[in-house]
Structure 1
């Protein structure tokens, strides 16, 4: 067998697992080399501090000169995260003819078009299975397995931290703050959980999924983003009463718009936000810090991918799978399928999104209130599907003499719903609009 030189950038929880698997003389490295058809040699590991010991990693491999290390490699595995210097290092790698394996969702969501174009021009591979949903194989199915199909929609629980928090609120009755604290204690959440709970992490993954599913380059700026900070214990309790659960979903889908002249046009919607999800939906049973992705395609129908979406060993599994593939391609003198942007569909604004909604109101508990509320919905073209009322004493934060009114709508646009909510706040009988959640599933 020939020899393929691998440079590893980053040696954190994932990188250390990759380095251990590629350690000289290890059984794992021998097995991976046999599968790839070439001897895989780890020629260096770029880190910030070479003085800090790393278990299972030969200190002689450590270097702070990532740029020089990249120039000595046939394949560069990037696990440092962030935009720079990762972007420059990977562009330099492909320009020098090296293939790239990365788990950097933020970089792909911001500069994916540039990186893919550079790899195509250089005739090298760019693989990134670990960038979305950890060990779950979702990138390859969208990129290759479904290349002959037409994907209509992808729904994903792609952030383990937020899924753990919402699951704690649902199953244990925890408050948002206590659930986040518990996630931090168990290592599921960072000390600063902003990227997770505010939806940034999921939005980056949504951009990647949409790019692959619809052959249309999207960046994180194209994704409408809402986090879970506003989800209350009352929202979770109300969902339970309705046979539903609250989840943070990444939703990317094809959508058709109609202009005033009756002309239709196809576009792409990409959004991340909390949803009310029927407990009958396959995604609803995703518990704890696990991830799941639900794909709807014309030919294949409904497909479900489920597993560990984070952690050193699971994510390293995805990285090593990509590494074996890229090494095989170098042995064969080939490259993997390109990520095409030939469709280049327009990205539709959130106002154009059509879905169902649950609107929870705190209202005066007196005759005629429901009629006035219904009139506002009708006036903005939003049809009501169901109404539930909880009397005084179970009011979702209302004062004595008030009630909690939970309205679920039929499908409407975001723009119509927003106008409806604005109209509701002007009613004397409405003390507050406690929450608005989009509804998915039955």
Structure 2
């Protein structure tokens, strides 16, 4: 039934010069079906709805919004909106692949599929010139069903960074003797490629950072010229080791972690997890840990940590001038929300703000936008109405949030 509703909204499709224009989607500004809460002075508007599984997005100086869809079941893989006066209209759609990663840099739009990274040349108005013939920047990335998204970002020196998630919780199915995880060479890390070189493949030389179970939130911090990522932590501490961890401990642990990465860094998965309550890297129970033993110091520590199972899916460093000064250069994180915090209520489903100073987290994080999940009962049960995923900054300094459950796009603005 849900798919039929989406199809009725996204059809008919009209071919226009190689693009597809989606004519039937109603994107009028309207009060939020599920009102979200924001700090004083901020307001939100739903500028689009019922798009499908909307993942990451970018906004151009011309107020065009490129949204990468998780799949092509109900639309093309990339939908392009134009937003004016808090109203969005659909211009085109293209790409025969779904995915998550999308970015604009130096006249190109970059987007990832489950096994490749493509780029599209843009014209002076940031319109894709030839949507049917992208250049392949990277191919042959490991295809996996679990942790499939290939999130990406670019630096200022011509490099692109791509996540390859581990198809596993804790590598147990690949490391039955618990002697070492054999998939660390091809997954569970970040790979660095040249943004202007065609037909690259992942290799040892391209391996940038190790031991990251799954990264979806990824961004380049312009303030200190460094890569930052948000890792999804492991699951099932209590289920696998009931004598070492209570169900309540397993609901809160391990932390969802923010890492500031340099080439060669190793965050330690699957051998390590971070306890945000003890503020320590802990030895994983599969590899000799008991909930008390700390990890080998060769593994890097996160620069910030958040409660377990919140599922961080978007990361944005705010560089605009619209929001109050305290938000400048700080990080916004979109938490997709949990499914496995029982016996505690499910949690997350929010956008938080992490203050920064001199390019590093400074002070406690705070909930910025909340209420996406719906009622308290819907949130606690995990039956969330909306689940935040992607974050982008607009040319006027507003920020945009996608929801990959109902395909809603929110615009959040500040007025003095």
TM class by shorter chain equals under 0.3
TM-score (norm 1): 0.24
Larger Rg: 1
TM-score (norm 2): 0.25
